[in-house]
Amino acid sequence: MKPARRTILKMTPDARAAFVNAGFTRRGFIKSSGALIVTFSAASLAARVGFAQGGPGGAPSGVPVDRLDSWIAIAADGRVTAYTGKCELGQGLFTAQAQLVAEELSIPLSRLTLLQCDTSITPDQGTTSGAQSHPTNFNAGGLALAAASAREALVKLAATRLNVPVEQLVAVDGVVRLTTDPSRSVGYGELVGGRKFEVAIDKNAKRKPSRDWTILGKPVPRLDIPGLVTAEAEFVHNVRVDGMLHGRVVRPPAVGATLISVDEASIAGMPGVVRVVVKNSFVGVVAEKPWQAIQAAGKLAVKWTPGTGLPNQRGSYEYLRTLPSRDTLVVDSGDVEAKLAGAASIIKATYLYPYQMHGSVGSSCAVADVRSDGITIYAASQNVHALRGTTAMVLGRVRDDVRVIFRRGSGCYGINGADTVAFDAALMSQAVGRPVRVQLARKDEMAWENYGLPFVIDQRVGVDASGTIVAWDYEAWSAARGGRPGGGNPGNVATGFVAGFQPGAFAPRTPSPAPTQFVADNNTAPAYVRGRVAGKDGGVGTVQSERALTHRVLSPFFTGPLRAPERLQNTFAHESFLDEIATHVKADPVEYRTRHLTDQRLKDVINAAARTAGWERRLSPKPVSRDRVLTGRGFASQACEVDNSYVAMAADVEVNPSTGAVVVKRLVIAADAGPISNPDGLKNQLEGGAFHGISRTLLEEVTWDDQKVTAVDWRTYHSIPVGGDIPHIEVVLINQPAGKAMGAGETSIVVVGAAIGNAIFDATGVRLREVPFTPERVKAAIAAARTLGTR
Amino acid sequence: MMMTLKVNGRSHTVDVDPTTPLLYVLSDDLGLRGPKFGCGLGQCGSCTAIVGGRAVRSCSTPVSSVGSAEVVTLEGLGTSEKPHPLQKAFIDEQAAQCGFCLSGPILSAKALLDRNPKASDADIKQALSGVLCRCFTHQRMIAAIKKYADGRTA
């Protein structure tokens, strides 16, 4: 570690602010050089507050998750610094986690500094994704347990100090005092300020009961929004370090194209150019200024092999069925064919879901400083600890050399370009020996990101004479390639791949082995089956004869988790199909849902949404109409991953049969995600997710030609603008103060496709089974139905 | 070449290639955080700045075309301590998720409402027809803009 003075002078403004917020002045720090530091040595404290420039890379040993000092530090003045491994992605988690720590530690929010995701100073909590942050940090483990441990440790210390039993003490507003005599108290700063706790996390530490919450559970305004609306907040895009250069990548022009040669002379003499960087098929240009790098990269003459060719997009869904696949049976009662054969009638349908992109509004950006004595990466990665390992692999260095510091990025909704651009910056910094910032071109972000998976889903059910479902058969084909790089697969994203690493292996497997436990993660099985595997019901439905079989094939494009991965595609198919079945048996779709469900919480959100929407019990579709604009209503619901939140949605739409335009007028969302940490934050997530779902349902689809992706900007990949049609969104929150915390970032989006499709059916009598429901598709479907005389 | 820009009420002299888009001068030469590169094509609004009273896409506006016009970025409106009333409306409505796009909705609305304080809902929609927010905070943003507009005309 370098001397404190040098490292501090090199802090970014935000690092300095965090440093000051943590209770230390620069002068105080330099003077004290360790003595003033509460719970860490001078060197590790400097690391903890996020200085970074020029210092050595990562700490060799990591941050031990079982030690209280890894999570909570208390300064002499009583200020608390907490360290979390789950980061703010725009979902409001920073504020919710701050509320959690303040609540458990009984301090006002203003006395807390929360530092997130830095490999040198925060615990490794894996990836911030998959609606898992609340389950991880707000239940009986993680940050909640650490904060509760800290409170109990403080009470114990106070018991010794005040010479009273712990039972007579209570922690309130940053002090521990006698329950009977508030004047006898001792502050947290007095108890541990200047020292470490030096204890393990107490696995039995008790969370505060939710009835006592005064900060958690309240609609605390987000702590970061004032800084966001005034541009005081630092994004990774704003990170500027001394001596920093700017890089621009040159990606292959076609899928499968590899580098033949680069003619560096083609940009000779262009202003500011520092270096052309080549590694396998990775090509980048480094220049003094970003505009210089962009212009030089555009002029650089590069020869590539032809691409390997792409399947025709028309017909690509059928093509998926023909490829070698890895097969997985999620559930199989073994009697589906027999039950179908004996059913009063059989209903079948096939649903199609396209490749979609994360499409972050800001293209991805990272800053890397690769030196012989250490590597520092600023990235908006969802997993800084994993990125540490893969960055080391890409650079041919060791993991301990690398420090990755999270800085907020443009909303990602899953794996956007945040990791891949970190590799871009690292490769270029390594080549030039100076810090390099890279922000991807829009086309490079869009053409090479890890898309959400395309799906073909065949559904089949048998119903008995009373209209009850007696057997449900699901079979799906989806395509995947690469994914999150994790700790060891840099080839799972574009830059690692062009730099010479392969994506994680694909191993076909047919037939599938029998399931050994019910896997609910992807909502592969519909909510209406019981999900019985190994004698245990893993599902929330009544249908006993059940089969769900998936075929995973290899994708030509990189894929990865996109907001509610697979759960969304499956829910579209399940909830659309349920509506088709209800129509077939002449049942009201809401009543028909609850008839096949066992889970009361799911039924409760269904009933709440129906009630709030004023759902009128009747059959779909509405009678044939020749009005200029048709109106309809649709419903959909889901138990996300069976037990990670419950949602129901009623949608009102308008359809113009002559243009095919669909306008969503109103959405009612009822959701239950356990105990609510922040009602307004939860509402913001549910609203945003629902609207994101409208855009994905009506507009979004990755397109390609025979060589390359053609959806490369906002003219070729469509997103509803802020000035577009905005539905009236009503949210009904069901709080479960005594329940376990669940994720809610994916809750509302999963049901939108089916709710809209079902509403279009109600309005027009036309069933759309392929997303997106573009005006062309809607218009063509209505015209076909009218020509055939079915409407 | 050397040129002088008036940004957020202060003059700055910079030495830049005159074809450089205004965005890079603001974010790299002047170190401003407000205008951000979203697409570089004028299609999303994340780079929005107000130039001479009009909301422009700084990613596709050559710096040489700015001349002596006053440039205002998000940080030119107010601070978190003293936010501009439009920024305050965004805070009050909690109209942000990731916050990357905010130069687009806030400055597009401000330029419109400065020009036409009685702008209709349709005018507001029109002004935001090319502004993207991929977190889809649209409902809250429109509510914040209307709240600000109503507050000014009331």
**Residue B23: per-residue pLDDT:** 98
- Looking at the fold, whether A244 and A368 belong to one and the same domain comes out as yes
Kind plus residue range of the DSSP H or E element containing A722: none
DSSP assignment of A607-653 equals HHHHHHHTPPP--SSPPP---SSEEEEEEEEEETTTTS-EEEEEEEE
Domain encompassing residue A643: 455-788
Distance CA A758, CA A627 (A): 19
Chain A interface test: which of B98, B102, B137, B142 (most A C-beta within 10 Å): B98
Half-sphere exposure of A170 (CA within 13 A, CB side): 10
Does residue A644 fall inside a structural domain? yes
Residues A726-761, buried b or exposed e (16+ Cβ, 10 A)?
Answer: bbebbbbbbebeeeebbbbbbbbbbbbbbbbbbbbb
Alpha-carbon distance B146 to nearest alpha carbon in chain A (angstroms): 13
> Do residues A7 and A54 make contact, with C-beta atoms less than 8 angstroms apart?
yes
pTM of the model: 0.94
Phi, psi of B3 (to 5 degrees): -145, 155
Which residue of B lies nearest to A360 if distances are taken between CA atoms? B134
Contact flag B139-A729 (C-beta cutoff 8 Å): yes
Kind plus residue range of the DSSP H or E element containing B57: strand B54-57
DSSP 8-class letter at A401: G
- Looking at the fold, whether A525 and A593 belong to one and the same domain comes out as yes
In chain B, residues 52-71 whose CB comes closer than 8 Å to chain A: none
ipTM of the complex: 0.99
- Looking at the fold, whether B11 and B67 belong to one and the same domain comes out as yes
Domain encompassing residue B33: 2-76
**Residue B19: per-residue pLDDT:** 96
> Do residues A33 and A4 make contact, with C-beta atoms less than 8 angstroms apart?
yes
- Looking at the fold, whether B68 and B97 belong to one and the same domain comes out as no
- Looking at the fold, whether A145 and A203 belong to one and the same domain comes out as yes
Query: What is the count of structural domains for chain B?
Result: 2
Which residue of B lies nearest to A237 if distances are taken between CA atoms? B36
CATH number of the structural domain spanning residue B49: 3.10.20.30
- Looking at the fold, whether A382 and A403 belong to one and the same domain comes out as yes
- Looking at the fold, whether A188 and A203 belong to one and the same domain comes out as yes
Give the residue from A426, A448, A470 where a domain finishes. Answer: A448
Distance CA A358, CA A361 (A): 9
**Residue A525: per-residue pLDDT:** 98
The answer to whether B39 contacts chain A (CB < 8 Å) is yes
Does residue A198 fall inside a structural domain? yes
Contact flag A221-B94 (C-beta cutoff 8 Å): yes
Give the residue from B15, B43, B76 where a domain finishes. Answer: B76
Q: Which residues of B touch A229 (CB under 8 A)?
A: 74, 83, 87, 90-91, 96, 99, 102, 106
Q: For residue A783, with 0-12 CB atoms within 10 Å meaning exposed, 13-18 middle and 19 or more buried, which class applies?
A: middle
- Looking at the fold, whether B56 and B121 belong to one and the same domain comes out as no
> Do residues A293 and A287 make contact, with C-beta atoms less than 8 angstroms apart?
yes
**Residue A44: per-residue pLDDT:** 35
Does residue A334 fall inside a structural domain? no
> Do residues A414 and A488 make contact, with C-beta atoms less than 8 angstroms apart?
no
- Looking at the fold, whether B38 and B99 belong to one and the same domain comes out as no
Query: What is the count of structural domains for chain A?
Result: 3
**Residue A53: per-residue pLDDT:** 27
- Looking at the fold, whether B64 and B92 belong to one and the same domain comes out as no
Give the residue from A421, A448, A475 where a domain finishes. Answer: A448
The model's confidence at residue B154, banded by pLDDT at 50, 70 and 90, is low
Token pair of A192, please?
Answer: 């541990």
Alpha-carbon distance B68 to nearest alpha carbon in chain A (angstroms): 22
Which residue of A lies nearest to B35 if distances are taken between CA atoms? A231
Contact flag A692-B135 (C-beta cutoff 8 Å): yes
Token look-up 């889901």 returns A638
CATH number of the structural domain spanning residue B90: 1.10.150.120
Does residue A185 fall inside a structural domain? yes
Half-sphere exposure of A451 (CA within 13 A, CB side): 28
- Looking at the fold, whether A410 and A496 belong to one and the same domain comes out as no
- Looking at the fold, whether A555 and A529 belong to one and the same domain comes out as yes
Alpha-carbon distance B79 to nearest alpha carbon in chain A (angstroms): 6
CATH number of the structural domain spanning residue A635: 3.30.365.10
Does residue A442 fall inside a structural domain? yes
Q: For residue A433, with 0-12 CB atoms within 10 Å meaning exposed, 13-18 middle and 19 or more buried, which class applies?
A: middle
Q: Which residues of A touch B138 (CB under 8 A)?
A: 691, 720, 722, 724, 726
- Looking at the fold, whether A202 and A246 belong to one and the same domain comes out as no
Q: Which residues pair with A81 in a beta bridge?
A: A73, A113
- Looking at the fold, whether B9 and B69 belong to one and the same domain comes out as yes
DSSP assignment of A334-390 equals S-HHHHHHTSSEEEEEEEEE--B----SSPPEEEEEEETTEEEEEE--S-HHHHHHH
- Looking at the fold, whether B6 and B68 belong to one and the same domain comes out as yes
The answer to whether B99 contacts chain A (CB < 8 Å) is yes
> Do residues A281 and A287 make contact, with C-beta atoms less than 8 angstroms apart?
no
Please report the number of interchain residue pairs, chain A to chain B, with beta-carbon separation below 8 angstroms. 194
Distance CA B103, CA B94 (A): 15
- Looking at the fold, whether B60 and B98 belong to one and the same domain comes out as no
Contact flag A719-B138 (C-beta cutoff 8 Å): no
Contact flag A224-B141 (C-beta cutoff 8 Å): no
**Residue A192: per-residue pLDDT:** 95
Token pair of A606, please?
Answer: 């269904």
- Looking at the fold, whether B60 and B20 belong to one and the same domain comes out as yes
**Residue A23: per-residue pLDDT:** 36
**Residue A450: per-residue pLDDT:** 98
The model's confidence at residue B152, banded by pLDDT at 50, 70 and 90, is confident
Q: Which residues of B touch A721 (CB under 8 A)?
A: 128-132
Distance CA B98, CA A97 (A): 16
The answer to whether B146 contacts chain A (CB < 8 Å) is no
- Looking at the fold, whether A628 and A684 belong to one and the same domain comes out as yes
Q: Which residues of A touch B48 (CB under 8 A)?
A: none
> Do residues A661 and A774 make contact, with C-beta atoms less than 8 angstroms apart?
no
- Looking at the fold, whether B71 and B95 belong to one and the same domain comes out as no
Q: Which residues of B touch A726 (CB under 8 A)?
A: 138-139, 142
The answer to whether B131 contacts chain A (CB < 8 Å) is yes
Q: For residue A341, with 0-12 CB atoms within 10 Å meaning exposed, 13-18 middle and 19 or more buried, which class applies?
A: exposed
Give the residue from B29, B47, B76 where a domain finishes. Answer: B76
**Residue A295: per-residue pLDDT:** 98
Give the residue from A448, A472, A489 where a domain finishes. Answer: A448
- Looking at the fold, whether A244 and A169 belong to one and the same domain comes out as no
Low-confidence ranges of chain A (pLDDT < 70): 1-61
- Looking at the fold, whether B47 and B97 belong to one and the same domain comes out as no
DSSP assignment of A536-577 equals EE-SSB-B-EEEEEEEEEE-SS-B--BSSTTHHHHHHHHHHH
- Looking at the fold, whether B101 and B35 belong to one and the same domain comes out as no
- Looking at the fold, whether A485 and A629 belong to one and the same domain comes out as yes
Decide: helix, strand or coil at residue A662: strand
Contact flag B141-A410 (C-beta cutoff 8 Å): no
Q: Which residues of A touch B61 (CB under 8 A)?
A: none
Q: For the CA atoms of chain A, what is the radius of gyration? A: 28
- Looking at the fold, whether A444 and A468 belong to one and the same domain comes out as no
Does residue A336 fall inside a structural domain? no
User: Which stretches within chain B are classed as H helix?
Assistant: 22-24, 85-92, 103-115, 121-127, 138-153
Q: Which residues of A touch B36 (CB under 8 A)?
A: 235, 237, 362
For A583-592, the pLDDT digits (tens) are 999 999 999 9
Does residue A602 fall inside a structural domain? yes
Which residue of A lies nearest to B76 if distances are taken between CA atoms? A230
Give the residue from B76, B111, B130 where a domain finishes. Answer: B76
Chain A interface test: which of B108, B135, B148 (most A C-beta within 10 Å): B135
Does residue A467 fall inside a structural domain? yes
Closest CA to A357 of A717, A787, A743, A78: A717
Which residue of A lies nearest to B40 if distances are taken between CA atoms? A442
Distance CA A552, CA A328 (A): 8
Say if residue A511 is preceded by a cis peptide, omega within 30 of 0: yes
Smallest Cβ–Cβ distance between A721 and the set B19, B75, B132 belongs to B132
